[in-house]
Amino acid sequence: MADILKTNSLSKSYKNVQALQDLNITVKKGQVYGLLGPNGSGKTTTLGILLGVIKPDNGKFNWFGNNQRDENRKNIGALLETPNFYPYLNAVDNLKIVAEIKSMDNVSDRIETVLRRVDLWKRKSAKFKTFSLGMKQRLAIASALLADPEVLVLDEPTNGLDPQGIAEIRSLILDVASTGKTIIIASHILDEIEKVCTHVAILKSGKLIKEATLEEILIQDKLLCVNSDNREELLNAIEEIPEFKYIKDLSGEILISVGEERTNAEVNKIFAEKGIYLSSLSLHRKNLESTFLEIVSS
pLDDT of amino acid 286: 66
Please tell me the pTM assigned to this model.
0.76
Q: How far apart, in whole angstroms, are the C-alpha atoms of residue 115 and residue 112?
A: 5
Q: Do 151 and 85 have their domain in common?
A: yes
pLDDT in tens, 136-170: 989 999 999 999 999 999 998 888 788 888 888 88
Per-residue CA distances from 256 to 86, 144, 239, 240, 265 (Å): 51, 42, 10, 13, 15
Name the residue range of residue 228's domain.
222-296
H/E stretch holding 35 reads strand 32-36
For the chain, what percent of residues have pLDDT higher than 90? Answer: 51
- DSSP 3-state percent helix, strand, coil across the chain (nearest 5): 35, 30, 35
Q: Is residue 157 within 8 Å of 151, Cβ to Cβ?
A: no
Q: Do 156 and 212 have their domain in common?
A: yes
Which amino acid belongs to residue 162? D
pLDDT of amino acid 178: 92
Q: Do 19 and 150 have their domain in common?
A: yes
Domain boundary among 175, 190, 218: 218
pLDDT of amino acid 208: 93
Q: What secondary structure letter does DSSP report for 90?
A: B
CATH of the domain at 285: 3.30.70
Q: Do 172 and 132 have their domain in common?
A: yes
Q: Do 162 and 283 have their domain in common?
A: no
Q: Do 108 and 176 have their domain in common?
A: yes
Q: Do 97 and 151 have their domain in common?
A: yes
Domain boundary among 218, 236, 268: 218
Q: Do 76 and 205 have their domain in common?
A: yes
Q: How far apart, in whole angstroms, are the C-alpha atoms of residue 145 and residue 138?
A: 10
Q: Do 279 and 162 have their domain in common?
A: no
How many separate domains does the chain show?
2
Q: Do 137 and 255 have their domain in common?
A: no
Q: Is residue 43 within 8 Å of 186, Cβ to Cβ?
A: yes
Which amino acid belongs to residue 103? S
Q: Is residue 203 within 8 Å of 295, Cβ to Cβ?
A: no
Q: Do 91 and 166 have their domain in common?
A: yes
CATH of the domain at 33: 3.40.50.300
Domain boundary among 185, 218, 251: 218
Q: Do 246 and 179 have their domain in common?
A: no
pLDDT of amino acid 34: 94
Q: How far apart, in whole angstroms, are the C-alpha atoms of residue 146 and residue 264?
A: 54
pLDDT in tens, 232-289: 899 999 999 988 888 888 778 998 888 878 889 999 999 999 999 999 998 877 667 6
